[in-house]
Structure 1
């Protein structure tokens, strides 16, 4: 007898989707520190249900930002195929603008979980390529650049033009 993969119950799946949708709307309005009680209330479930679906705030935010992170990951792969300096600079600009424009994303990037890992891996690949091409100062680390991007994004949340300008000023000290 062949066992089929267990599918979540319909009510579990429905509650999960409602929690993610409610969280996405509230994070867009209030940022990453949105009240989890409010998320549960908006989704029409109790807080215990929210905690059965998501072990932590970070787990919930990771699911909210899953599509954005996947787009960013794919974009980093595209940029790795071209000029190393241009690829790194374009990546940092696009990441900064995405984090500034997507309320709560910048806070999630520094959380040290999946969001951070995906973005750090992509940044590391691009920094390594830029180092090989002598297109970035040798002492600059991927973590330095992610700290810079996170700081600029948090400081300019909702203002992509200012985020881009501040990043450009900072990159003067990063590039040779």
Structure 2
């Protein structure tokens, strides 16, 4: 890619990140192009579809989650690694309104631009889960697909104004339910007063 094309690509991604953070995954592509001060055709030359734009935008975060799983696997106790990674995954999906729907659709559609990134993240979580299960530290009746779905569900809750104030508490509850013990290997489940 030429230097000017690379600059345009990076600029479009930076603008798209801001617009999507404000308006969610369904943000107007015209608005992204307008704020980037380019024509819609230029945007489409770099990103032919909304999914291609979202894949490019989200891939760094998804790749970061995959890398984080590898780091945690090498450096943390199995239960601590699993729950730390799970919390980071939930924080990611809560960071982009509407991304849960896209990821849920992409995981089932091999033709989706987001499919590879989503399946890689799911596999990274599954590996951490299996490691914790092998030590008897995580529920044996969960699998990687369940973990991915729980992340998505908690992300969706964060998108709902009536549930958002409970989101952190619900993450704590689900994290505790994934483990077979609450305080093994230094992993702590926070005990907050219930929100009424």
> Shorter-chain TM-score: which interval?
0.7 to 0.9
Match among 27, 37, 42 for residue 44 of structure 1: 37
State the 1:31 CA deviation: 0.9
CA–CA separation in structure 2 for the residues paired with 1:78 and 1:72:
10
CA–CA separation in structure 2 for the residues paired with 1:174 and 1:161:
22
On the 8 A contact 1:79/1:87 being kept in 2, the answer is yes
Q: What TM-score, normalized to structure 1? A: 0.80
CA–CA separation in structure 2 for the residues paired with 1:107 and 1:142:
18
Q: What TM-score, normalized to structure 2? A: 0.73
CA–CA separation in structure 2 for the residues paired with 1:70 and 1:171:
22
State the 1:172 CA deviation: 4.4
Match among 7, 14, 18 for residue 21 of structure 1: 14
Equivalent pairs counted in the alignment come to 169
Instruction: Look up the match of 1:130.
Output: 132
Instruction: Look up the match of 2:69.
Output: 76
CA–CA separation in structure 1 for the residues paired with 2:126 and 2:39:
40
CA–CA separation in structure 2 for the residues paired with 1:107 and 1:173:
24
On the 8 A contact 2:79/2:138 being kept in 1, the answer is yes
**What do you get for the CA RMSD once the two structures are aligned?**
2.6
Instruction: Look up the match of 1:143.
Output: 145
CA–CA separation in structure 2 for the residues paired with 1:105 and 1:78:
25
Instruction: Look up the match of 1:5.
Output: none
Q: Structure 1: 5+ residue runs without aligned partners?
A: 1-7
| Residue 92 (structure 1) aligned with residue 96 (structure 2) | no
CA–CA separation in structure 1 for the residues paired with 2:125 and 2:165:
22
